[in-house]
Structure 1
Amino acid sequence: MLDYDEEARHYDSSRGGEARAAAATDALLGLIPDAAGRLLDVACGTGIVTRRLAAARPGLRVTGADLTPAMVRTSSARLPGAVVRADSRRLPFRAGSVDAVTTVWLLHLLDPEGVRATIAECARVLRPGGVYVTTVDKAAAHDVGSDIDAVLTGRPRRPAADAAGPVTAHAGRHGLRPAGRGSFPGAGQGRSPRATIADLRRGWFTMLPPGEPRTEEFAARLARLPDQDRPRPDPVFHLRAFRKPVAD
């Protein structure tokens, strides 16, 4: 896993910046009820999306939470007094205390038990009628049908911790019902062959360790592609929303 204390300094600039944040915010707000009064953004990272959520709806009280100290410092600068350090698996909030919970680009980083625990906590802190919104299938979003994807087709993959099917099943076990879907482009995140080779060699593809012969084989095949610095199409990220039913 990446060192997110180190990543915090250049996280936004390397992942689409404000353009991606704006697209994510619009998609999230499309799934969060207008009447929501309090939103908890779990794993808020640098706060680039959290800040936009708060600005877009002045009547919505937004709190960010993240486990990484450097991310908490960065997001706190954007939302003074509205960010806490917290583990998504043990949220320091009362049961039934928020109207909406978001986890954007979190579940794919966790192991299966971490995913289950995080979804359970998000369901716990939701009020009846509240909505949980999360990204799903993050890795698959980068498969855009490009020549880079053709080269990488045979690479080994881990089962996706944030696959939509298991996420939906976990949500259901904690009383959450499907309540909508959304998507948004990952602006500026289209892969180029040269950048993908660099990602291979720094271990972003977790089943292809840096320096191993198979990793270098994929790197060599990528190096033979044309237009080494031309980004291919941007990924499209997907959201799923779940609602906590109101008791009869």
Structure 2
Amino acid sequence: MLDYDVEAARYDATRGGVPRASSAARAVLALVPDRARTLLDVGCGTGLVSERLTRPGLRVFGVDASEAMARVAARRLESLIVLGNCHRLPFADASLDAVSAVWLLHLLPDAPAVVAECARVLKPGGVFVTTVDKDLSHDMNSDVDELLAPFRVHRAYDAAPRVLAVASEHGLRRAGEARFTGHGQGMTPSRAATEVARGYFASALTLDEEQSATLVRRLSLLPDADIPRADPVYRLLALRKEG
């Protein structure tokens, strides 16, 4: 996994920036009931998405385990940003109307425990909104993805069936879904080759030194080296707490 304290300074610029964050925020808000007055963005990172979760009467909080990420988020948001662990959220039982987790569960081997924790802090009737199946958004999306696909680590921590099963155990029932475009995430062959060479995909690809060199060479031979490929489309699930 990346060191997010190190990545904080360059994170937004390498993740599609404002267009990607705005797309995610719109999709999240479309799944959050109008009656919601509080929303916690878990794994808020730099707060670029959290900052855009704006709606009259809705107060947004953020929590992140990276001190550097939380520091950037705190500069962006007037609402409360907490340095904390998603496995032990610093909020009381049944205290929030909505919880979001965008691009988080796919990183966590113990994602079920985080789903349970998000359910704990939700009020009855509250909604948990989370991205699922993130890896599938990138598979076979372009000629670049086709070359990367054989080396991808498919942990499927955020597989939709798994998330739904765990959610059901904690009183969460499917309430809707949405999709949004990951603007700026369509790789150019040249960028992909550079990132593979510098080991940037270490948490997503399994490569030895020889395979890395071969992959860099094959990426470098693709046509239109500096033209971005199609952006991925991400999937969101909304899960409502019973009671």
Using the size of structure 2 for normalisation, the TM-score is 0.94
Q: Which amino acid aligns with 1:178?
A: R
User: Retained in 2: the 8 A contact 1:25–1:49?
Assistant: yes
Superposed CA RMSD: 1.6
Q: Give the counterpart letter for 1:57 in structure 2.
A: R
Structure 1 CA distance, aligned partners of 2:42 and 2:145?
Answer: 31
Is the 8 Å Cα contact of residues 98 and 127 (structure 2) preserved in structure 1?
Answer: yes
C-alpha deviation, 1:238, in angstroms = 0.8
Task: State which of 240, 245, 248 in structure 1 corresponds to 2:242.
Answer: 245
Indicate the residue corresponding to 2:18 in structure 1: 18
Q: 1:140 deviation in Å?
A: 1.7
* Cα pair 1:137 1:160 within 8 Å, conserved: yes
**Residue in 2 aligned with 1:122?**
118
Cα 1:152/1:209, change in 2 over 3 Å: closer
- Cα deviation for residue 34 of structure 1 reads 0.3
Residue 227 of structure 2 corresponds to residue 230 of structure 1: yes
Equivalents in 1 of 2:69, 2:152: separation in Å?
Answer: 31
SS in 1 for 2:224: coil
Shift in alpha-carbon separation, 1:33–1:207, aligned structure 2, 3 A? closer
Are the equivalent residues in 2 in contact too, given 1:51–1:78 (CA < 8 A)? yes
| Paired residues for 1:136-175 under 5 Å | 136-175=132-171
Counterpart in the other structure of 1:40: 40
Amino acid at match of 1:43: G
Superposition TM-score, scaled by structure 1 size: 0.92
Moved over 6 A (4+): none
**Secondary structure of the residue that 1:77 maps to in structure 2?**
helix
- In structure 1, what is the Cα distance between the partners aligned to 2:60 and 2:152? 39
Task: Report the CA distance shift for 1:144/1:19 in structure 2 as closer, same or farther (over 3 A).
Answer: farther
Gap regions ≥5 residues in structure 2:
none
* Counterpart check, 1:70 vs 2:57: no
Segments of 5+ residues of structure 1 without an aligned counterpart are none
Aligned partners of 1:210, 1:159: CA distance in 2, in Å?
A: 16
Tell me, in whole angstroms, the C-alpha distance in 1 between the residues paired with 2:62 and 2:191. 31
2:216 aligns to what? 219
Of 63-72 and 80-89, deviating more is 80-89
Question: Partners of 1:14 and 1:82 in 2: how far apart?
Answer: 26
Q: How far apart, CA to CA, are the structure 1 residues paired with 2:182 and 2:242?
A: 32
Distance across 2 between alignment mates of 1:45 and 1:37: 22
Which residue number in structure 1 is paired with residue 85 of structure 2? 87
In the alignment, which residue of structure 1 is the partner of 2:193? 197
Identity %: 50
Count of equivalent residues:
242
Distance 1:205 1:3, change over 3 A: closer
Contact 1:46–1:71 (CA under 8 A) maintained in structure 2: yes
Once residues 223 and 213 of structure 1 are traced to their aligned partners in structure 2, the CA distance between those partners, rounded to angstroms, is 15
